[in-house]
Structure 1
């Protein structure tokens, strides 16, 4: 009888531990996790109060547009695009998955590559970065929403 009781208690404890285990697929756990700025989608006023980091004001005549937040399997992705003279001049990732160290490693190499691809293509029609397919998809969706909001290419 004593063995059965001990076996039952250890089984219950193991099940509780398994169900409380958090994986990176659950997204960021903190509302202000690194990489999360929380900028609203749509046109952004020019100037220092635009919601970005210090010194992120758009050059005169440029338009800043936030894309919508693309919810991905690993966490939210959102970009801000700068359009000047009918060209995409910059893309900044406002939110990327940052729930764990591996997410940050992936995004440290993938986000700059995605930015370069957008600047070369001048559209959201870009290839995914190998190893960061989910983030690449979210990046493209948020970017396309920003370009649509700015009526870019139409």
Structure 2
């Protein structure tokens, strides 16, 4: 009888602890990320101005040179969107317009991951880049938006 009582109390304690655990999406942290752009600003120029627009913000008559926004990739932690700058048929810059930043942990992860993803995209000149450990969801969204921007720029 004593073993059953201890087992029952242990099980109830474990369940209470399990259901009271707060995940990273439950709390909202203060401050803004140094990586993500201001998501409260107006949509980027070019095209119809919708948030998922893949339009060019540069001169489309100059052999594809200009800035191209990728579509907004909706991830389970929040939206991810990038903008590429193309010059001479090459990607010269990648800017993260939106990354998940709903709390401090998201900001920490993305402050670490986004520069790595940017450098990988510039080196690869494509969306075929490795996932950053600890930022799998952001990496997947980054690749998706990057590929949409590359497609909009008509790069290979």
TM range (shorter): 0.5 to 0.7
What is the aligned counterpart of 2:144 among 129, 141, 144? 141
1:151 aligns with 2:154: yes
Paired position in structure 2 for 1:113? 116
Q: Distance in 1 between matches of 2:104 and 2:117?
A: 20
CA RMSD of aligned residues (A): 2.8
Paired position in structure 1 for 2:54? 42
Check the 8 A contact 2:25/2:103 in 1, yes or no.
no
- Structure 2: tracts of 5 or more residues without a match: 1-18, 45-50
- Structure 1: tracts of 5 or more residues without a match: 1-17, 48-60
Once the 2 structures are TM-superposed, how far is the Cα of residue 26 of structure 1 from its aligned partner?
A: 6.9
TM-score of the superposition, structure 1-length normalised?
0.67
Paired position in structure 1 for 2:132? 129
Once the 2 structures are TM-superposed, how far is the Cα of residue 22 of structure 1 from its aligned partner?
A: 8.2
1:78 aligns with 2:81: yes
Check the 8 A contact 1:24/1:74 in 2, yes or no.
no
